[in-house]
Every structure is written in structure tokens, then in C-alpha cells.
Amino acid sequence: MNLGIIKRIGLTVVIVSVLFSLVLIVSMMLSESRGPSSMDMDKGQKIGGIFTRYQNQVYASVPSNGDYLIKDADANSFRLLDDNFRNRQFGIDKNHAYCGNLMVKDFNPSTAKSIGNDYFSDGKQTCYCASMSVNNKALSVISELNQRMLYGFGIGAKPQTYIYPFSKLEAGTAPYRAVLNTEVVTNGTLSYYRGEILPQANSESLRQIPELYNDGDIRKSISYLADGQHVYYKNTRLPLKDHSDLYAIVIDAQNQENYLIDPKQGMVYVNDIAFEKQHSPYRVLSLNGGHVYHALFLSKDGIFYFDTDKNKVLSIDHNPFNSAKFTEIAPLVFSDGRQILYMQTSEVWGGRRNPGLKSRSTNIYRLDEPAMGDWLKIGMVDHNFGSVWKNGANYYYFDQLGDNQLIGQTIYRITDHATVDLLLSPEVRTEEIRQLVRTDHMARVKSTELVNVKTSYSSTYNWLIWGIVFLFVGVQLFLWILRKLGFNPKPFNIKDKRLIVNNLWARSYALSDIKTIVFSIETAARQKGYTGRFQIQTKDGKRSRKYMFATQMRLSADSRQELESYITDLQNMLKKYQVNSVLSAAL
């Protein structure tokens, strides 16, 4: 292929890429300023729930992406279906029903009613409309960018990046009714969870599996269901048979994953993923989560955990708890009568050249402090913030507040008796405990790391930085090419006896209406150099906005001498058309 053709193709690719990037950036900036602001919405009339009437139009608030205009809504007749808080996302007017900002087609608003658990019926149709918004998974990244660009330039609707999940249910001979204390309905034949079918579910025997908390409390799971034969994680059937010993567990302070325990088989399920049968039986190490990033499960073959980044169950062969019978004497602190093992977190962050969170670890440590005999619990710190223990002549603080409360260690050695008294005093505050750590009244203990359970994260921050760098270089290259080709538009043109301003608004003025054009030179913002401005004063006393310009298409600012010379050329051009102009010291 001819070298010249290759160069032209390369140049075309660069120009197209840079132009697309510029259009994307401009459209993103414009999209942020479209529609009423939150301050504007505060001035509107609250209809109720998520709905607001503003300038005779109805808007729906969709958390995580602001307010959406409901185009088809009749502002005068629009209202909430009822005053139940869980139904705050469902509105009706004289013509239609609405789930969030989206119209429910062929749904009769005059007969609409809530049947509970986020389900609604008009007597003929039944639909699910979730009370909480979620990320719209049906909207791809490319589609979102395309829609955001169109919205930014005012030729498209605001992209639906978040939605209130909605679906219609299959009609049957019997009406649907809400069952259980979660998002389930049934008509006796079909059962739905969050608007999706529960396959082969026996509606008469559906139940919520009990869920165990670290304080011993037992509640009903909202994610794990069973019907006497089948077991479900949400809408997915799990490969096990229902029995009365099944239970779910909640790792305190860890809300990311759901766990189901099958004690008969010694099996564990994380969400709908089964641990490997060959390594069973499993048992959870602790239900306490103040100083962990992973729920750990012990097996004869090691320690097993769920890696959220890889979305799979992983394992570590070494299991220090297999060597003896350990008891959890305090949250995340274990003793076999001879030694103390405890759990604690750590994080690795990148540096200046490679910033961002790199990994999170849950570590198992052995306490290496001098120990003499049994550990004695002295008392609880108020509000269950932690506990004070004694071994020999030394006192220790076992923390329960966790990393979220900026207490980085699970165990601290208390350095004086006054600190013991303060910790055991009523109404001790969290900030006082932090202060004790900062002032070394509670010191770090000696320990040895035995196990490191780590989840590593791929950094998107680096790609963002390189993207910005390439965009900057690309823009510079594009502007350089334009200058080489002689393309350097002036701040205004004169055509057909009109002065046309070269900017996004493309405003024009009749030369006969212009009294004078005032040029000025000002210090550039956020960079070294100067920028030019001009303002048009018309004979009727009006003034235009202050238009900004530069001598060349480049990212750097001009010098004062460059601008003075350029303004002189512009004034000479205006003289030819008998338009008066002046150079002011500053506008």
C-alpha cells in the first residue's frame, strides 16, 4: 500500500477519534445542565412519594440519576395510587398508570390498586413495580453514551440509567395475592418473586428460610425461599431438596453476599453458587464482620471463601484451626486454651504513578504477646463497642466497632489502668476510643500472620489517566494539523452586511445596528498567559455577552503581544465595513 495512503488513513483516524472525543465531552457537559435542577425541583409542588409537579409537568425522582420528566402524564389529575410508603413509586392520572417515570401500558388507572409486596392490579392485569430503583442492566455502555450525547445536544431523552424494575405477570383464572414477607405473589398456580416466575414452586407451601444473625436473632430470609420440595435463591432453583434444618446466615457488617447452610450435607451456598461437595463438611468461622472482608468457611481441606472480583469460591490449603479445638471467646478472637488467633483486615493502595485500591485482605494472626494462664474477661465496653480482658498483669481491648468506625486493629494492649477505667465507664464514646488509639494508650500487639485471604482488584483508574493523556495529545495533534492546513477561524465573520459570531450560539448582528465593538485583554484563568474578549454594543443601548477568543486553535493561552497584534488585524477588517471598534484595558 502506498505510504501516502497509509498516512492519510492514519490522519483520518486521528481526526475522527479526536472529533468524537470532543463531541462526547461537550455533550456530557451539556447533559449535566439540562432539565430542572434540584433547586428548581424544590420549588415545585410535591404530589407525594417520588413525584413532583413543576411548571405544569410531572417529574419522577429516580435515585442515583435525578429527576425524569413523565411526558404523557396529565399534571392536573396526577396523584399517588395510595399513601403507603412502599407504593410511593406508583402513580396514576385520568389516563394512565406509571411505575416511576415509565407508563404502564393498557393498565386501567380507575380500577388500579395495590395488592402488596410491590405488586399492583387493575382487576384484569397484574404488574410488579419495585419500590427501590436499581441500575438499568438492559442499557449497555455504548447505548448510554449514545443516548447521553443525544440528550446533551437536546435531540434525545435523558438516558434511563436507573429504573424501578417493572414486569407484567401472566394472567390466570384466579387473582394474584401477596404471600410471605418479601416480594412474592401467587394465584395458586403461578408464583412470582420480584416480578419473575418461581419455577415449579408449590404456592401453598412456600416459606422463607430462617436467617441466623451473630447475636443469635433468627429472622426470615428475603432471598432464600423453599416450598417443601424445592429451594430457591431469589428466582433460581438450587440443586438441593428442602428440609427443616436449612438456614441462612448473615455476616455482621458484611452486606454484599447471601449464604445458605445445609447442615445435613455440610454444604454452603453463596448466593446461588455451591461450594465444592468434595471438601465438605464446611462450617463458618464467625458471623462477626467488624474486622473482615471475607466470610471464611473451614474444611478439613483448608479455608474457603468467595472472591467477589472473580465471582467464584476459592480456597487456601493452610487451616490453623485444624490443629486444635478453638472457641470464639470474643468476636473474631479465638482461643484453644494455649494460644490466641484473631482475624483482621488490611488493604494495599497504589502510589502516585499507579493509584487506587489494589487489594483487600482478611488475615488470621497468632497473638505473640507473653501469656500467663487463662484469659479473664473484665467487662464489656458500653454499647458493645468491645470488651476488656486481662492476662497476667496485662490488660487488652478486643474491638467490635470495626474498620468502618476507623478502629484498625482487632486487639490492642492497654498501657495504663486509667484507660481500663475509661473503657469500662458508662457512656464512653467512639471518638474517645479512637483518641486512646491515637495517643498510644492502646498499643498494637505483637503478632504473626498465619493466613492471608486476598481479593485483588483490577484498576480502571490507570486507563482513565492514560485516556486523559491520549485525549490531550490527540487534541493537540488535531489542532496542530488544522493550523498547518491554514484552518484558523476568526472570532467573527462578516457576510451579507451582518456580523456573525463564530461560537455554539452563532449569533448575528446587522452592521447598521452596531454602535461599537469593545475588545479587551484579560489574564487567562488557571493558566499562564492572556485571553481576548469582545462585546458588541448596539445603537439601541443593548450589550451582547462577552465573547472569548484566541489568536490560534491551541490549548495554551496567548501572550499579550500576540493578542494586541491579532486585535489590530480584526479592527482593520472592521474598518473596511465602517464598523467602529476600540481596545479597552479590561471589560
Give 184-193 pLDDT, tens digit per residue: 999 999 999 9
CA angle 74, 76, 82 (to 5 degrees): 85
What's the pLDDT band for 3 if we cut at 50, 70, 90? very low
Q: What is the model's pLDDT at position 85?
A: 92
Q: Which residues contact 31 (CB under 8 A, 6 or more apart)?
A: 148, 149, 151, 152, 158
Pair (499, 400) in one structural domain: no
The CATH number for 522's domain is 2.30.29
Q: Which residues contact 212 (CB under 8 A, 6 or more apart)?
A: 218, 247, 248, 249, 250, 287
Residue 22 has pLDDT above 90, yes or no: no
Q: What is the model's pLDDT at position 172?
A: 85
Compute how many other C-beta atoms are within 10 angstroms of the C-beta atom of residue 137: 8
Residue 587 has pLDDT above 50, yes or no: no
Q: Between 173 and 284, whose confidence is greater?
A: 284
Contact between 562 and 550 (Cβ < 8 Å): no
What's the pLDDT band for 2 if we cut at 50, 70, 90? very low
- Whether 287 is in a domain gets the answer no
Pair (443, 492) in one structural domain: no
Identity of the amino acid at 522: E
- Percent of residues, the chain, with pLDDT higher than 90: 62
Which of 370, 371, 428 lies closest to 400 in space, CA to CA? 428
Total-model pTM: 0.73
Q: What is the model's pLDDT at position 28?
A: 64
Q: At what angle do helices 430-438 and 417-424 cross, to 10 degrees?
A: 160
- Whether 353 is in a domain gets the answer yes
d(CA 344, CA 277): 28
What's the pLDDT band for 60 if we cut at 50, 70, 90? very high
Q: In what order do the strands lie in the sheet with 547-549?
A: 547-549, 530-538, 514-523, 581-584
Pair (442, 494) in one structural domain: no
Report cis status (omega within 30 of 0) of the bond before 239.
no
Mean pLDDT within 50-66: 92
Pair (60, 162) in one structural domain: yes
- Whether 53 is in a domain gets the answer yes
- Whether 298 is in a domain gets the answer no
Pair (144, 57) in one structural domain: yes
Residue 462 has pLDDT above 80, yes or no: no
- Whether 515 is in a domain gets the answer yes
- Percent of residues, the chain, with pLDDT higher than 70: 87
Instruction: Look at the chain and count its residues.
Output: 587
- Give the least confident one: 113-122, 202-211, 268-277, 465-474: 465-474
Pair (513, 580) in one structural domain: yes
Give me the residue label for grid cell 402513580.
Answer: 91
Element (H, E) at 549: strand 547-549
Mean pLDDT of the residues in the chain: 87
d(CA 533, CA 546): 6
Number of separate domains in the chain: 3
Compute how many other C-beta atoms are within 10 angstroms of the C-beta atom of residue 429: 11
Q: Which residues contact 173 (CB under 8 A, 6 or more apart)?
A: 187, 189
Identity of the amino acid at 59: Y
Contact between 517 and 536 (Cβ < 8 Å): yes
Last residue of a domain, one of 137, 168, 199: 168
Pair (509, 450) in one structural domain: no
**Domain extent for 565:** 488-584
d(CA 72, CA 28): 26
SS3 537: strand
Q: What is the model's pLDDT at position 154?
A: 75
Residue 1 has pLDDT above 50, yes or no: no
Residue 7 has pLDDT above 90, yes or no: no
- Cα dihedral angle (447, 448, 452, 457), rounded to 10 degrees? 60
- Whether 420 is in a domain gets the answer yes
Compute how many other C-beta atoms are within 10 angstroms of the C-beta atom of residue 213: 13
Pair (443, 551) in one structural domain: no
d(CA 371, CA 411): 14
Q: What is the model's pLDDT at position 373?
A: 83
Mean pLDDT within 504-512: 81
Q: What is the model's pLDDT at position 558?
A: 87
d(CA 252, CA 199): 31
Identity of the amino acid at 273: I
Give 191-232 pLDDT, tens digit per residue: 999 999 999 999 999 999 999 998 889 999 999 999 999 999
- Whether 310 is in a domain gets the answer no
Which of 106, 128, 132, 100 lies closest to 115 in space, CA to CA? 128
Pair (448, 563) in one structural domain: no
Contact between 536 and 498 (Cβ < 8 Å): no
Measure Cα distances from 42 to 11, 52, 59 in Å: 50, 9, 12
Last residue of a domain, one of 168, 189, 217: 168
Q: In what order do the strands lie in the sheet with 386-391?
A: 376-381, 386-391, 394-399, 411-414, 442-444
- Give the least confident one: 77-86, 147-156, 253-262, 321-330: 147-156
User: Nine-digit cell at 557?
Assistant: 493561552
Measure Cα distances from 116 to 24, 85, 121, 182, 219 in Å: 44, 11, 10, 10, 20
Residue 303 has pLDDT above 90, yes or no: yes
Q: What is the model's pLDDT at position 36?
A: 78
Q: Which residues contact 311 (CB under 8 A, 6 or more apart)?
A: 273
Pair (347, 390) in one structural domain: yes
Give 369-423 pLDDT, tens digit per residue: 988 888 999 999 988 899 999 999 999 999 999 988 999 999 999 999 999 999 9
Give 521-547 pLDDT, tens digit per residue: 988 876 788 889 999 999 999 998 888
Measure Cα distances from 512 to 122, 373, 498, 546 in Å: 66, 101, 8, 20
Beta strands at 119-121 and 79-80: parallel, antiparallel or unpaired = unpaired
Pair (419, 541) in one structural domain: no
d(CA 163, CA 63): 9
Last residue of a domain, one of 135, 168, 201: 168
For the purposes of burial, counting CB atoms within 10 Å of the CB of 45, is it exposed (0-12), middle (13-18) or buried (19 or more)? Answer: exposed
Give 466-494 pLDDT, tens digit per residue: 556 665 666 556 555 555 555 567 889 89
CA angle 369, 372, 374 (to 5 degrees): 105
Residue 58 has pLDDT above 90, yes or no: yes
- Whether 92 is in a domain gets the answer yes
Give 307-341 pLDDT, tens digit per residue: 988 899 999 999 999 878 899 999 999 999 889 99
Contact between 410 and 333 (Cβ < 8 Å): yes
Pair (504, 579) in one structural domain: yes
Give me the residue label for grid cell 497468632.
Answer: 366
Identity of the amino acid at 217: D
Give 439-458 pLDDT, tens digit per residue: 999 999 999 999 999 888 87
Residue 21 has pLDDT above 90, yes or no: no
